[in-house]
Chain A
Amino acid sequence: MCGIVGIVSSSRVAPKLVRSLLNLEYRGYDSCGLAVCNNGVIDVRKDKGPVKQVSEILKFNEMNGMIGIGHTRWATTGAVTRENAHPHASNQGEFALVHNGIISNYRDLRQMLESKDYQFLSDTDTEVLVHLIDFHFRSSGDLEESIRRMSRDLDGTFAFAVISVHDPNHIYAARRESPLIIGLGINENYIGSDYNAILDYTRNVIPVKDGEYVVIDREAVSIRNLLSGEKITRDIVTLDWDPELSQKGGYPHYMLKEIHEQPSTVESALKVDIEKINLVCDWILNADRVYLLGVGTTYYVAECVQYYCALLSGRHLIAVSSDEFEYIAQLSDRSLVLAFSQSGETYDTLTALRYAKKFGARTAAIINVMGSTMVSETDLAIMQQSGPEICVLSTKAAVAQITIAIRIALELGRRSGHLTGSDYDSHLKSLAALPGMIRRVINESKGFVNNLAQQTQSYRNWLFIGRGIYSAIAREAALKMKEVTYHHAEGVSGGFMKHGTIALIDKSFGSIFFLPPRSSIELFQHTIANAEEIKSRDGFIVGFGFGERVGIFNHEINLQDSDQISAPVLLLVLGQMFAYYSAVILKRNVDRPRSLAKSVTVA
């Protein structure tokens, strides 16, 4: 995925574009570039490397012009090189274009254009777009018409923005599947991949939907349908996120900041409108089958939710990884699909939801990003209100999603009679206390986690083990570990471990056990038995648990005793902190681990 931005203004736009690119870097950070139009000439500067470095070397800030576009790239087609960086310009330099998405028929288009003497300078799919516009412009002489014609030629996904010397006051942009929004300023308007692009300038946005294109100048914006050219009117959405929140706020990394924000994101999750939660419950109770959808972290969220629902409502909802959904799901018009997505743009989850809709199934989603594609495409979108999550690894958004799902499970349990009134009340009380307990874990255990990370930095292989819901927690904690440290970590359930995985154990192999509070005595004892098995094979064992020391571990971190609703979440927070400190000690790029992007919007 990539980040795009465009600004048209009554003053120089380059410095603002650079700030936008910095805020968009989490969407892609292998190359970047700007195109600014001034006095009938488009100046394109781009290279591989982070925004800060490239913009200093190429002096982005000195570019003159009151209209421009910018791009941060996360390579999908074509290697990371200067030539492949965006913006791409047409051969005569009359057009410059930035693009996010994948054009699947670009080879055919390229062949066609090359036969008409268009010179290709890059290996990207994007370059065909700019030449196609040029091609259509030569016959139509109308930029809007050229864009409409081009979009009919394209297979695949796109959000693009284009500027032209033929119309130096307007930015043209369009989307199919990839995200795009419009931002409204004073004497200045913007387009961007998401709100981060424009957060520093305005809070007023208009989401652009699939199959639409927009034309903006510094005073007005218009949205039209790509096929019919029909004009569309849409309301302005005012974002209530504080731009301060989007910056690191003094923390060394976004990940640590976002871990620290979890008490307040859980508080926001507890304030989510009960009407919406009740509506999901209605749908669940009336459905013939309920799927929980997520991929990566959100799949493990779905797994946790599966356990919470079984415990609190006596119901088995089926967690499926979005990418495998089509191959396994059995859907009808009475089915319900409940998806989890931080960005609301996750390609695999969107595809799965669209697949479910074909069968007439109901769709609902718990989403963090307002105005995202999933919000408009699902029957019910529950906004989790966690604020922007910038670190590529999801921490606070995942914990907030779990919180909302616990509320759903509790309501289900109450309504189906699975929970007695007093059980329901006491669980509700534990949930209300969760933010305080997370705050306490963060404020009282960080030092111990850092110590552990210091002592275990040489372990390159880990098993994360738990039973029951703790196996899901172990898998999510293991995902955090591998994402940010690049060390191998595998989450596995305690019973499963001896059916094969245990063969890996030797003294260079670390294992972390996620222990339930002793009130779940059977689960606790069974997990301890697994720990003994690994200990007897010389494995290095670590315990994350509650209350008194267990004594068998090489290293243990014990939190204050807790209840069965909060305990899994608290251990997940420990797991997040362990991944974080391990990565800091190993000097990894914490907020932007190699090969990862914040929201995966490609197949």
Chain B
Amino acid sequence: MKAVILTAGPGTRLEPLTECRPKALISICGKTILARLIESLQQIGIHDTAVVVNPKYSSMDYDCSDSNDLKSPSLTILTQDQSLGVGQGILTAKEFIDERDFFLLAYGDIMYSGNLFRALIHSFNRVRKPVAAVSLTGDSSDFGVIYMDHDMRITQIIEKPRSKNLGNYILAGAFILPGSFFRILADCSGNVIEAFRVMQDSMDMYASIWEGDWIDIAYPWSILAANRIHMKQWDRSSFAITTIIEPGSMISGPVYIEDNVTIKTGSSIIGPCYIGKNSFIGHNALLREYTCIGEGSIIGFGVEVKNSVLMPGSEIGRLSFIGDSVIGHDVNVGSATIMVNINMDQSTVHVDIAGESIDSGLLKLGSFIGDKTWIGANHTFLPGTKIASGMSIPHFGTYPKE
């Protein structure tokens, strides 16, 4: 069986973190989301995979991806002509799939515990008919909600239900579909939900229930949730043999430390935490639960990081606090910068997403910093702050030199 992964979505809601890369290439614990999907596919014996990409990101961007996902010889890169939605993305792969074969379709922005595709293929083998992975989430209003019969046959699909009284399985972004789906989809002018409905009427479609953790990485804070889903699966620690841990440091819980990491005296690392290769953790740093430090990062003296994802090449100046935040690639955070993660009135944090204030539903949420941004010393960022890529923010409260 072949697989198609869709990564051409513009990822607007995830900005600034998708300004320089597609969201499938966001890296969590040393591996991109795309690399994890491909790994899951390989585990179930699918080695012939096409990735549909957005023309906005040049192949150069893909080549620069840290885990070299797209250099794998069995990957076929298909560029979507215009970014006209999921349906057009799927149709881009029409030639890649034989009309008579079933194929696996995955959205490139999902993260899950274990291997969701394995459950999907089991369900498919049971019925030998189209199958959709389904999951339960907090709010189903962003998804396609399904109704099913007791034999797991899908009886109805409702796209993005407006009613708040609907809380059922949602389509979890992974399917096994017949090659004829491309024709049905083209007949439905690329409307995916409509095509599913036609298929469900003509040949039945079955649900494959996924009860493991699952998230669709839609908002900047979803990256934090995805990071937690990944780390929660750890039941042991791993240290590269080249790790240098100076005396007086404390490490507890599951911690993954890659090659050539130095941890200076007085640091505390409370797992689960991940530290990418060639990183440096300065004196008296405190890395708390669910911290992911990308490769080649430098954490300064007395820095505290908690429930945050730092992409590769981050430099955090001394005495800073990074809480519930996502820091893009090659970002420099000046000394004594505080990313406040809680509102004074204990209300949930709102974030401006594509011009609209969206309630994250989270009581604690920090900032989101785009790639290659340089932040001067001594700043305080309010909860839910977003800073675009490539910005240069001067030092704060400096005394004039002259």
| A interface residues, Cβ below 8 angstroms from B | 249-252, 256-257, 260-261, 263-264, 443-451, 454, 558, 560, 584
Taking the closest CB of chain A, its distance from the CB of B188, in whole angstroms, is: 24
Among B136, B137, B150, B211, the residue within 8 A (CB) of A257 is B150
The majority secondary structure among interface residues of chain A is helix
Further contacts, 19 of them, CB under 8 A, given A249-B151, A250-B122, A260-B150: A249-B152, A250-B126, A250-B152, A250-B206, A250-B208, A252-B209, A252-B211, A256-B209, A260-B148, A263-B150, A443-B148, A444-B166, A444-B167, A446-B167, A447-B136, A448-B167, A449-B167, A454-B138, A560-B165
Nearest opposing residue in chain B for A449, CB measure = B167
Nearest opposing residue in chain B for A247, CB measure = B126
CB-defined contacts of A257 to chain B, threshold 8 Å: 150
B residues 122-153 in Cβ contact with A at 8 Å: 122-123, 126-127, 136-138, 140, 147-148, 150-152
A447 touches B140 (CB 8 A): yes
Known: A250-B123, A256-B209, A584-B211. A443 touches B150 (CB 8 A): no
CB-defined contacts of A450 to chain B, threshold 8 Å: 136, 167
Q: 1/0 per position for B201-230, CB-CB distance to A under 8 A?
A: 000001011010000000000000000000
Q: 1/0 per position for B184-214, CB-CB distance to A under 8 A?
A: 0000000000000000000000101101000
Interface centre among B136, B137, B169 (most CB of A within 10 A): B136
B209 touches A446 (CB 8 A): no
A451 touches B151 (CB 8 A): no
CB-defined contacts of B170 to chain A, threshold 8 Å: 447
B168 within 8 A of A: yes
CB-defined contacts of B127 to chain A, threshold 8 Å: 250
CB-defined contacts of A260 to chain B, threshold 8 Å: 148, 150
Taking the closest CB of chain B, its distance from the CB of A45, in whole angstroms, is: 29
Complex: A230 Cα to B372 Cα, angstroms: 93
Taking the closest CB of chain B, its distance from the CB of A593, in whole angstroms, is: 17
B208 touches A444 (CB 8 A): no
CB-defined contacts of B136 to chain A, threshold 8 Å: 446-447, 450-451
CB-defined contacts of A451 to chain B, threshold 8 Å: 136, 138, 167
Complex: A435 Cα to B152 Cα, angstroms: 17
CB-defined contacts of A448 to chain B, threshold 8 Å: 167
Taking the closest CB of chain A, its distance from the CB of B110, in whole angstroms, is: 17
Complex: A601 Cα to B382 Cα, angstroms: 64
Complex: A445 Cα to B145 Cα, angstroms: 12
Nearest opposing residue in chain B for A251, CB measure = B209
Complex: A446 Cα to B170 Cα, angstroms: 11
* B contact residues, total (Cβ < 8 Å): 23
Q: 1/0 per position for B330-354, CB-CB distance to A under 8 A?
A: 0000000000000000000000000
Complex: A249 Cα to B168 Cα, angstroms: 19
Taking the closest CB of chain A, its distance from the CB of B233, in whole angstroms, is: 12
The 23 sampled A-B contact pairs (Cβ below 8 Å) are: A249-B151, A249-B152, A250-B127, A250-B152, A250-B206, A250-B209, A251-B152, A261-B150, A264-B150, A443-B168, A444-B165, A444-B166, A444-B167, A444-B168, A445-B167, A445-B168, A447-B136, A447-B166, A447-B167, A448-B167, A454-B138, A560-B165, A584-B211
Known: A251-B152, A251-B209, A448-B167. A443 touches B147 (CB 8 A): yes
Complex: A86 Cα to B264 Cα, angstroms: 60
Taking the closest CB of chain A, its distance from the CB of B163, in whole angstroms, is: 9
Taking the closest CB of chain A, its distance from the CB of B115, in whole angstroms, is: 14
Nearest opposing residue in chain A for B206, CB measure = A250
CB-defined contacts of A443 to chain B, threshold 8 Å: 147-148, 168
Nearest opposing residue in chain B for A264, CB measure = B150
Q: 1/0 per position for B100-119, CB-CB distance to A under 8 A?
A: 00000000000000000000
CB-defined contacts of B167 to chain A, threshold 8 Å: 444-451
Among A447, A454, A558, the residue within 8 A (CB) of B169 is A447
CB-defined contacts of B123 to chain A, threshold 8 Å: 250
A446 touches B168 (CB 8 A): yes
CB-defined contacts of B150 to chain A, threshold 8 Å: 257, 260-261, 263-264
Nearest opposing residue in chain B for A451, CB measure = B138
A446 touches B206 (CB 8 A): no
Among A250, A252, A445, A447, the residue within 8 A (CB) of B137 is A447
Nearest opposing residue in chain A for B152, CB measure = A250
Among B122, B138, B165, B169, the residue within 8 A (CB) of A446 is B169
Taking the closest CB of chain A, its distance from the CB of B134, in whole angstroms, is: 10
Taking the closest CB of chain B, its distance from the CB of A454, in whole angstroms, is: 8
CB-defined contacts of A558 to chain B, threshold 8 Å: 165
CB-defined contacts of B152 to chain A, threshold 8 Å: 249-251
Complex: A449 Cα to B152 Cα, angstroms: 19
Complex: A444 Cα to B123 Cα, angstroms: 23
Taking the closest CB of chain A, its distance from the CB of B3, in whole angstroms, is: 21
Taking the closest CB of chain A, its distance from the CB of B156, in whole angstroms, is: 8
CB-defined contacts of A447 to chain B, threshold 8 Å: 136-138, 140, 166-170
CB-defined contacts of A264 to chain B, threshold 8 Å: 150
Taking the closest CB of chain B, its distance from the CB of A183, in whole angstroms, is: 26
Complex: A252 Cα to B210 Cα, angstroms: 8
Nearest opposing residue in chain B for A590, CB measure = B211
CB-defined contacts of B148 to chain A, threshold 8 Å: 260, 443
CB-defined contacts of A256 to chain B, threshold 8 Å: 209
Complex: A250 Cα to B208 Cα, angstroms: 7
Interface centre among B138, B147, B167, B168 (most CB of A within 10 A): B167
Complex: A478 Cα to B24 Cα, angstroms: 44
Complex: A39 Cα to B140 Cα, angstroms: 64
Taking the closest CB of chain B, its distance from the CB of A227, in whole angstroms, is: 47
* Closest CB pairs A-B (n = 10): A447-B167, A448-B167, A450-B136, A260-B150, A443-B147, A447-B136, A261-B150, A250-B152, A252-B211, A443-B168
